[in-house]
């Protein structure tokens, strides 16, 4: 396993850590991110690491709007060979397992993953036990509903307040179980049961959505449908510019980790911004 402690907070220059997305699925929303073999995935992982990724987020279940739940055994079968191969070749890279299920998370951590990225925010009651036993970091995300129905006209009175309240509840569960706040990362869940106005409000709020100052903040906006609503880009292939526009605001919002499909472009963005800041 990697030393994850320095990887769950912002870089020394204030820019977020970059997490590259590896979807071992046949149906993730961005077709170019779908991977089907260990060899292909390892090749993409190598490119991401060479281009500046601090983390690789490996997932075996699509959670796009309308996606169906798959059996956890199938999810394990998809991700374990990849985690083994990546960990063997890159012993110090951060590996995150993107899953809602405790048995999948446990299997991934046993094979060398470092962090759990749980979009369902502890919906599996055994997830807390796994986190406590493995002493790993956990990212909890806000989602209204489940992937099958989350975009069926979601409504909020005050989206920032309601997301913060839900994350507060989950953080308290973790802390009460003896898990340190420094192990916990919050994700507002952009596109997960939100309309465009909700997404914009949550991104604008930055760290106001998380309940404790010394926990982490992660954004995942990469090529999401909000850019169809915001910019008229209906095809995910045409959403890179919008994605980078949001990413350019990540430092000012004190984001710790940004989850992306396009690692080189985000690395270049942060390097260019840093150069001007340092001039």
Residue 258, classed as helix, strand or coil, is: strand
Averages of pLDDT over each 10 residues, the chain, 279 residues? 91 97 74 71 94 95 68 89 95 96 97 96 96 97 77 85 96 97 97 94 98 96 95 96 98 98 98 92
Residue 251 annotated as catalytic: no
pTM of the model: 0.93
Residue 224 annotated as catalytic: yes
Asked whether residue 3 is domain-assigned, the answer is no
Asked whether residue 149 is domain-assigned, the answer is yes
Number of compact structural domains in the chain: 1
Q: Which of 17, 134, 194, 259 is catalytic?
A: 259
Asked whether residue 112 is domain-assigned, the answer is yes
Q: What is the CATH number of the domain that holds 135?
A: 3.20.20.20
Asked whether residue 78 is domain-assigned, the answer is yes
Asked whether residue 93 is domain-assigned, the answer is yes
Q: Contact at 8 Å (CB) between 223 and 21?
A: no
Residue 82: both structure tokens together: 């990849």
Please give the residue range of the domain that contains residue 227: 8-274
Residue 204: both structure tokens together: 């604008």
pLDDT tens per residue across span 106-139: 999 999 999 999 999 999 999 999 999 999 999 9
pLDDT tens per residue across span 192-226: 999 999 999 999 999 999 999 899 999 999 999 99
Q: Which of 134, 144, 170, 224 is catalytic?
A: 224
């Amino acid at each position: 396993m990697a030393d994850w402690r320095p990887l769950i907070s912002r870089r020394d220059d204030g820019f977020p850590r970059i997490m590259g997305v590896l979807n071992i699925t046949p149906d993730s929303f961005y077709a170019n991110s779908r991977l089907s073999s260990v060899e292909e995935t390892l090749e993409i992982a190598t490119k991401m690491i060479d281009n500046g990724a601090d983390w690789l987020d490996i997932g075996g279940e699509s959670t796009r709007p309308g996606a169906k739940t798959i059996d956890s055994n199938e999810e394990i079968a998809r991700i374990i060979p990849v985690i083994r191969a990546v960990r063997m070749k890159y012993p110090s890279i951060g590996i995150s397992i993107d899953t809602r299920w405790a048995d999948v998370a446990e299997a991934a951590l046993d094979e060398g993953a470092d962090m759990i990225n749980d979009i369902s925010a502890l919906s599996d009651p055994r997830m807390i036990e796994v986190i406590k036993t493995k002493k790993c970091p956990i990212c909890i995300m806000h989602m209204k509903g489940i992937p099958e129905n989350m975009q069926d006209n979601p409504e909020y009175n005050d989206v920032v307040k309601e997301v913060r309240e839900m994350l507060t509840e989950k953080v308290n569960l973790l802390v009460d179980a003896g898990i340190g706040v420094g192990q916990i990362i919050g994700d507002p869940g952009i596109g997960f049961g939100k309309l465009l106005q909700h997404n914009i409000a949550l991104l604008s709020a930055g760290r106001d959505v998380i309940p404790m100052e010394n926990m982490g903040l992660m954004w995942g906006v990469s090529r999401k449908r909000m850019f169809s609503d915001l910019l008229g880009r209906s095809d995910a292939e045409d959403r890179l510019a919008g994605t980078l526009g949001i990413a350019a605001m990540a430092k000012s919002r004190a984001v710790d980790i940004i989850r992306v499909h396009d690692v080189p472009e985000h690395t270049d963005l942060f390097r260019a911004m840093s150069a001007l800041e340092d001039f």
